[in-house]
Every structure is written in structure tokens, then in C-alpha cells.
Chains A and B, each alone.
Chain A
């Protein structure tokens, strides 16, 4: 057996999955653990501060999620993580929370880590989009998207971000739909990599490689 068979991209890394009392967080935790990482479901500031990387999941309505984030102190914690330069990954509504706001809950501010407003999906399609869809990578050099052009990911959403310079992948559902965004240390996906079988595993491995590299830089 070679040494490479024994190592996983997440080995030795601690990931905080932000827990603000929403639905299924276990899948994100298990998917990260499968890649060798230690993944904690937590809202504790010290644990978040100590983590090498942080995941912001989200399901349900934008406003309800922001309210729960506020109530658990995670709105402030998320701003600190983004400013710290540590890798921060948003998933699904977690990605939407990273924008300025959403038509789903007008007047409610998001985290503002990406500029733009999340809009209701349009086109002659059923809403929500609840299916697998194929990625078109628009920023092939971005490390999150390494080897993922044409990959299949699982989407569940009724709202989507507007395409901007931060967009790194799109898909097609009644028109172009933003699938992933990235700016500096903050990366996010509209789809659920933790539910997207082997292609999703690949994406999380790409992110964990960034987490490992960032930790080396921080330690240097």
C-alpha cells in the first residue's frame, strides 16, 4: 500500500459546520468526515475561531435563516470568519445568506460578503428546482472547480443569485442559474455537494485542499 492510499484531503483539518438549529446538518458533517476531516456542528465562538475552515449550510427561508443566525450569534461569527481570511464555504441557502439580500424576504439584510440580491427563479420551469443538474464552469482556473466542468450536482432551490464577476459556475434551469461563486477566501455553492455523490465529494476535496494550503500559509 502506498502512502497516498492512506491520506485524505481532510486529514488533520478541523472544520466547523455552523449550527443554528436548521434541518439536516449531519450530511455535511459526514461528507467532510469521509474525506478525513474532523467536522464539528457548532455555534461556539471558540470552536469556530479554532477551526481551519468553516462551512455555512442553510435550508429553508432566507429570513428565517438570518433570524436564527442572529439569535445564535452566528451573523457576527460569520463576519469574523470572512474577515479572518480562513476558508469559508457557503452551501445552498448558506450561499444566499452571503449576498446583500433576497427577494424571498425583502428588507432583510444578508451577510453582504457578495454583492447583489438573490432573485426568484424564472422561466417555464417547475419551482423549486429539485433535481440533479450539470455544471458549466465559467472560471476554469478556480481551484474549487478543478476537474468539475460537466459534473452533476444536486440542487434544491427556488431563488438564485444574479450572475456577477464572482460567479465561477452556472447551470441551466429556465435560463442561466448561478451554481457557484467565489471571492478571496469566501466560496459558495447553490447546490449540495454533500448530497452529490462522487462529484460532490470531489468538490469538497477541492475545498479541503484549499483549507490545508491556507493553514500552511497561516502557520508560516
Chain B
């Protein structure tokens, strides 16, 4: 049976959780270890930490964080952000992470996915893909490389891969890219709609469906969750195997149990919180 995972995502800058966390019963809401332990207790199925630290000099802080999380948290966790080489991946895995997530580096050099998968196995190689739906942004974004010089579309699916936090278009078709990284050894896709990220209007369901139909590995739906009612459609209509959210959990609006209740009421199977 397919059991849908609920995954809180923590953005970490230089060892501190950012994007605001608002829990009354947490002493230090900026401490990723304390927040992670809380989500573990509440019944989260996995955790994802995205390291948004600008300077690579500060990566040691992230390694130390992974070590501290591994002391306290006994559910799987992924570290993403700044993984550019097999050595970067090895440090995070040795520190206690179960998976690493590669993003821009995999766009620049897709072979990195194969290198990590060969060294450590596909199961710990997540590829994070940031995507914009072309028809939703074309008009106001001249940076898109969705059409070539003749104006003919090069992105058949209508979904374009972006890098640098959704700022830079790549001209790469997201559906083709997902197939490619899975063929190279990606064990999971973390799919974020940059159109929806931060909007709180729900997942981009056509995007989620296009990617989950194109690959046979699990897809984590991300970007746009405004309430627990937005989660189930990501699975039922989008075909995702897991749902990721940040703000609804961090601000204490909803608990992991609320999220699982909503999924269960929609007829999906979850591990009880």
C-alpha cells in the first residue's frame, strides 16, 4: 500500500531556521535541532533541511547541524542546498543525513546525480527541481528561454526548470529533465512550483501530475500550501507520494496530526501521527 508522507521543510541559514517560526512552547524557534525534534514527536514522516547559507565557508555549520539532528531525531532527514560534489554529499551522509538533495548543481552538471547514486545508492539521491509554468509567467518575464530565436517553443510540456531560487530560467523542459535525472539514478524528485511558492493557493496540480506521470520514483509535491486542505489534491490529482509544507507548520496554524487527518479524510493512507 502507498502510505503518504508528510514532510515539514526547514530553511536554514548559517545554522538557524529562517522564514519565521512561531511556536509558543519552543524555547529557541531558530534552533533547527529543537524544531526537528518537535516535528519528530508530532509524527512527521521525514524532514528536509534546505541550507540557504550564502557562503560555502559556513558549510561546516550545516555539517555540525546534521550531526546534532542525528543525535536527537529518529526519522529520516534530507539535507539540500550547496551539494555540488560527491564529497559534499559524503560529508552530509557521514554526519547523519539519510539523503542529500541536489538542485542547481544537477542542472549545471547532470552527471553529478549518477556519481552520487553510484557512490551511495539512488535511495539517498534526491533531485530538487524548481519549475515555472510558462503560460502563467511568460507575459511578465522576459528572462524565459521557453522559446528559441524563431519564437518556436522548445519546452513542449510548458514547464521550465529554473535555478537560483526561481530567479534564472534555464530553457530546460522540466518533464524531460525529471526523466533524465531518474535515468541517471535519482531516487526521488522534490518538485517545487516557483509560481506557487509562498502564494498559499495550493500545489500546481498539472505540473505535479506531469512530473509524477513521467517518472516511476516518488515525487514530493512542494510550493503553495496554504492549509491542510491543499495537501490531498497533490496526491489524488497530482500523483505525488509525499507532501511538503513549511509555513503552515512553522507558524503553528496546523499540526502534523491535522495534516494527516486531512489526508485520511480524503481517503489516503498515512502513518498515524
Contacts and interface: CB of A to CB of B under 8 A. Distances in A.
A1 interface: no
A172 interface: yes
A126 B218 contact: yes
B96 interface: yes
Nearest to B239: A126
Interface string A114-158: 000000000001111011111000000000000000001010111
Contact of B5 (A30, A131, A157, A192): A131
B95 interface: yes
B76 interface: yes
Contact of A197 (B70, B74, B118): B74
B76 A26 contact: no
A26 B69 CA distance: 11
Interface in B1-16: 1-5
Interface residues on A, range: 35 or more
B241 interface: yes
A197 to B, nearest CB: 5
Contact of A125 (B2, B67, B71, B119): B2
Nearest to A198: B74
B122 interface: yes
Nearest to A26: B96
B194 interface: no
A24 interface: yes
A147 B52 CA distance: 42
Contacts of A215: none
Contact of B188 (A27, A130, A192): A130
Given A132-B271, A133-B1, A157 B75 contact: no
